[in-house]
């Protein structure tokens, strides 16, 4: 599977962006899809995920840092996942990556750990600044 992340950009504090992660080559259905971010000088952080499921969508995970501000979703028909980001803060500035793994069941509790994901998009830069 190939993942293509897009939708990043420069936004003022308090603004919103919607990131997209378009998949090609394989269906994402029933597989976990996660969003990570990495700020300069910091480790990559798992911020949101839809866990794997045998039927329908898995449970959703949000890191405390984005809970209540970010919303993950996916459109099965478009084979695309989204991350709606509201009330953005300067500390949200980072490169955002989407990830999945078609070879394993990734439970929601395992979502924050990048070791559980074998397929990654190239990332899209989000900069929050006035």
Q: How high is the pLDDT of residue 4? A: 96
Give the residues across from 100 on adjacent strands.
33, 119
- Give 3-state DSSP helix, strand, coil % of the chain, rounded to 5: 5, 45, 50
Sequential DSSP letters for 5-64:
EE--EEE-TT--EEEEEEEESS--TTS-EEEEEE-TTS--EEEEEE---SSS---EEE-T
Q: How high is the pLDDT of residue 109? A: 86
Q: Which residues of the chain have pLDDT under 50?
A: none
Pairing of strands 94-100, 33-38: antiparallel
Q: How high is the pLDDT of residue 104? A: 87
Q: How high is the pLDDT of residue 58? A: 86
């Amino acid at each position: 599977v190939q993942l293509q992340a897009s939708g990043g950009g420069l936004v003022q504090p308090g603004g919103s962006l919607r990131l997209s992660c378009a998949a090609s080559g394989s269906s994402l259905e029933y597989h976990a899809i996660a969003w990570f971010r990495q700020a300069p000088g910091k480790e990559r952080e798992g911020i949101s995920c839809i866990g794997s499921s045998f039927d329908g969508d898995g449970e959703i995970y949000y890191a405390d840092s984005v809970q209540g501000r970010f919303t993950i979703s996916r459109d099965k028909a478009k084979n695309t996942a989204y991350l709606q980001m509201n009330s953005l803060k300067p500390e949200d500035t980072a490169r955002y990556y989407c990830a999945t793994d078609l070879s394993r069941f990734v439970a929601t509790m395992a979502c924050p750990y990048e070791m559980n994901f074998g397929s990654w998009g190239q990332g899209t830069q989000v900069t929050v600044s006035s």
